Amino acid sequence: MKWRLAVSVAVSMALSPALAETQSPFGHHPLTPQARDAFVSSLLTKMTNDEKIGQLRLISVGPDNPKEAIREMIKEGQVGAIFNTVTRKDIRAMQDQVMALSRLKIPLFFAYDVVHGQRTIFPINLGLASTFNLDSARVVGEVSAREAADDGLNMTWAPMVDVSRDPRWGRVSEGFGEDTYLTAIMGRTLVESMQGKSPADRYSLMTSVKHFAAYGAVEGGKEYNTVDMSPQRLFNDYMPPYKAALDAGSGGVMVALNSVNGTPSTADSWLLKDLLRDQWGFKGITISDHGAIKELIKHGVASDPKDAVRVAINAGINMSMSDEYYSKYLPELLKSGAVSQQELDDATRHVLNVKYDMGLFNDPYSHLGPKESDPADTNAESRLHRDAARQVARESLVLLKNRLNTLPLSKSGTIAVVGPLADSKRDIMGSWSAAGVADQSVTVLQGIKNVVGDKATVHYAKGANVTDDKGAVAFLNEYEPAVTLDKRSPQAMLDDAVKTASQSDVIVAVVGESQGMAHEASSRTDISIPASQQALLAALKKTGKPLVVVLMNGRPLTLVKEDQLADALLETWFAGTEGGNAIADVLFGDDNPSGKLPMSFPRSVGQIPVYYSHLNTGRPYNADKPDKYTSRYFDEVNAPLYPFGYGLSYTTFSVSPVTMSAPTMDKKGQVTASVTVTNTGKRQGATAVQLYLQDVTASMSRPVKMLRGFRKVNLKPGQSTTVNFPIDVHALTFWNARMQQVAEPGKFNVFIGLDSARVQ
Ligand code: NOJ
């Protein structure tokens, strides 16, 4: 599937090379590594140590650093890059100051959290992963880069490729879920599509993969917590996505706030030098996460701020995000010899290198163009890419249950749309919604109205607050007003909703989490739908009307009760600017859902971690022949409520037994596993066919199943297609007990199916 990108006015106003040359104080240089090294080496010889230190500072404009203070820093060469400034006007003003006021005129670069869109907000990444479609990821990457570069930005703090198997962690919403392979391939595709041929191109954006390393494995899913794991697990399960993003050319790495095996990543020279630079050959920049350098004191690996700077720069942190410590303490540390000149020069070189790769020395205004081309209205409708957003959002929706074909609904009669999230423009955008404007997003209520037009009557009742828990509300509203409590009493809201539902033919209840409940610093121990909304669902159920539950949330939730209550359950994550339209397309059958879960949905918090690719034990539990002395809970089944890779359709598919092109393969060879997939239902539909492998007997225990390929197929009723999965040695390698990367000869099981539990 391909989408065309809308071409904004600024495309035709891209700078001609001639103009670019005249605007650069440095002349024009070819974008090759050789030319870059020569250029940067020569520039370094002209810089004072203070100017070098200035290049290592990444500043966020805000109350701590007002624009006037930044102007002074720019004048003194005391800032290398800016983040959180997102309009061409503001960016141009700062770059103008560099050109007018600073001695060496080294351009700033501008960065932002463009995590799932810039102005057009796409589904959160957990939703993007649910598409199991790399074309969707490519569209998201290209559109996000285009819009961000059109705003003057040069870099994004994305993709976030932290594998996570703990839905208590609020940041699972930002990543691609529990699986190493899916996360790696999604991350790689985003890097390729955002950086394009070169981050210097007018509409490309340099990426900064994060959070290095293993942030998704924080103990207990508690934000900023410790990570402790075996090197085998680290390298087999958590490292591959970072490596894939770097192999795809990501220019930046954001370093994680957590420690791994006792050493904070920000202080880990093994991680940032031995592994990242020496073994993986990374040439870009490392950036500390917000405030991470001073946090080294609380981690207990630095005695005071000066010591923290010494530890961080010596560990390999090139650029410091949002603190003044590098500029305050590096001069003394250099003088005392605690930080060597070489260390400072190396860090500065990395920063200058990426600026060179961004094309900023050829044209500091390369993502700005001439002033006259600035959009009159930054938030203009014409700057959005709604068609692409609607298409990706449709593909991200996962149908979890559909009793007696409750869905699709017919566009007739009276429909009750109920729930605190049904008409929330803000929540549907999800966390990290960049420069997205809530007013421009389409809610579920609006989407349903758009799609049914005058064919049906639509009534709305809020029914409940997102939560009535005062502590939770205070927490969610601590930094900004995010959740509002209705003036009516909970009972009055409930009564209103029941009345509305009773007068309708069907109920669409939109429930789940508010945007802020699945965000940075939003860990939960209870991952059920909040009590206020559970009460609403129970009351709605009593009306006896068909109950369609539309879930909006940024993590797997425990949904045993809802699974029993609902006639149909549609997981929509936070679907973005066009979310409401896309959800309505699926509810009314204009589109057939095809999303698959990128994380297992536990039955209860006590099951966590529950993930499909676990190791076998010596006493595996067998559900068909349960035995006491096997690996199990006695008060809960082992299987999740919905497994990884699961998702229904309005049609049905069959998968033939797997055939292999050959029964054996040698190390340099390849075999192909094939199945025939048939649409056995009555509607056209798409599904993600998934390949899993198992290394049956190896020198160490290997997962019971590992995803190693997927293909989305779209079939008409009765149509069949053969899906081939080539398998070579790369699919079989792992880090063994001696930390050698090996592929061991032996027997491998090959499974193909439509989710991780139902395989052939
Ligand atoms: C802290 C977050 O951990 C990181 O992901 C983000 O990029 C930075 N803040 C900047 O906003």
656-678 pLDDT tens trace = 999 999 999 999 999 999 999 99
Pocket lining: 290 vs ligand 1, CB cutoff 6 Å: yes
Contacts of 404 (CB under 8 A, 6+ apart): 567
Q: Which of 85-89, 216-220, 320-324, 419-423 has the lowest mean pLDDT?
A: 320-324
- The atom number, within ligand 1, closest to the CA of 157 reads 7
User: How do beta strands 748-753 and 720-728 pair?
Assistant: unpaired
Report percent pLDDT > 90 for the chain. 94
Query: If you take atom 9 of ligand 1, which residue's CA is the nearest one?
Result: 290
Encoded tokens for 48? 């004072």
Per-residue pLDDT tens over the stretch 731-752: 999 999 999 999 999 999 999 9
268: left (phi over 0), alpha (psi -120 to 50) or beta: beta
- C-alpha 715/C-alpha 695 separation (Å) is 32
∠ CA 399-402-405, rounded to 5°: 125
Q: How many CA atoms lie within 13 A of 181 on its CB side?
A: 20
556 close to 167: Cβ distance less than 8 angstroms: yes
Helix (H, G, I), strand (E, B) or coil at 737: coil
| Residue 17 predicted with pLDDT over 60 | no
CA nearest neighbour of 473 among 548, 557, 530, 541: 530
Q: Residue 323's pLDDT is what?
A: 76
CB contact burial 234-256 (16+ within 10 A = b; e otherwise):
bbbbbbbbbbbbbebbbbbbbbb
What is the helix (H) or strand (E) element at residue 688, kind and residue range?
Answer: strand 685-695
The pTM (predicted TM-score) of the whole model is 0.96
Domains identified in the chain and CATH numbers? 38-371 (3.20.20.300), 388-587 (3.40.50.1700), 651-753 (2.60.40.10)
- Report residue 6's pLDDT band, with 50, 70 and 90 as the boundaries: very low
- Report residue 61's pLDDT band, with 50, 70 and 90 as the boundaries: confident
713 close to 729: Cβ distance less than 8 angstroms: no
Report percent pLDDT > 70 for the chain. 97
Pocket lining: 289 vs ligand 1, CB cutoff 6 Å: yes
Distance in Å from the first CA to the final CA of the chain: 28
**289 noted as active-site residue:** yes
- Report residue 8's pLDDT band, with 50, 70 and 90 as the boundaries: very low
| Residue 309 predicted with pLDDT over 80 | yes
56 alpha carbon to ligand 1 midpoint, in Å? 17
| Residue 15 predicted with pLDDT over 70 | no
Q: Which of 289, 363, 591, 695 is catalytic?
A: 289
DSSP 8-state secondary structure symbol assigned to residue 601: B
Encoded tokens for 213? 């390393």
Query: If you take atom 1 of ligand 1, which residue's CA is the nearest one?
Result: 290
Largest Cα–Cα distance in the chain?
79
Contacts of 28 (CB under 8 A, 6+ apart): 17, 20, 21, 362
Per-residue pLDDT tens over the stretch 68-113: 899 999 999 999 999 999 999 999 999 999 999 999 999 999 999 9
Write the secondary structure of 699-727 as one string of H (helix), E (strand) and C (coil): CCCCECCEEEEEEEEEECCCCEEEEEEEE
Query: If you take atom 4 of ligand 1, which residue's CA is the nearest one?
Result: 289
181 close to 130: Cβ distance less than 8 angstroms: no
Q: Residue 669's pLDDT is what?
A: 96
Pocket lining: 105 vs ligand 1, CB cutoff 6 Å: no
Pocket lining: 591 vs ligand 1, CB cutoff 6 Å: no
Q: Residue 546's pLDDT is what?
A: 98
| Residue 19 predicted with pLDDT over 80 | no
Q: Which of 59-73, 310-324, 610-624 has the lowest mean pLDDT?
A: 59-73
Interval 272-290 mean pLDDT: 98
Q: Residue 201's pLDDT is what?
A: 97
Interval 581-594 mean pLDDT: 98
Pocket lining: 157 vs ligand 1, CB cutoff 6 Å: yes
The one-letter amino acid code at 601 reads: F
Pocket lining: 224 vs ligand 1, CB cutoff 6 Å: no
- C-alpha 336/C-alpha 331 separation (Å) is 9
Q: Which of 86, 520, 523 to mutate to test the pocket of ligand 1 (most atoms within 8 A of CB)?
A: 520
Residue 723: phi, psi to the nearest 5?
-110, 125
Pocket lining: 519 vs ligand 1, CB cutoff 6 Å: no
Question: What's the whole-number average pLDDT of the chain?
Answer: 95
212 alpha carbon to ligand 1 midpoint, in Å? 12
| Residue 14 predicted with pLDDT over 50 | no
Contacts of 100 (CB under 8 A, 6+ apart): none
Q: Residue 237's pLDDT is what?
A: 98
| Residue 140 predicted with pLDDT over 60 | yes
∠ CA 532-537-538, rounded to 5°: 95
| Residue 526 predicted with pLDDT over 70 | yes
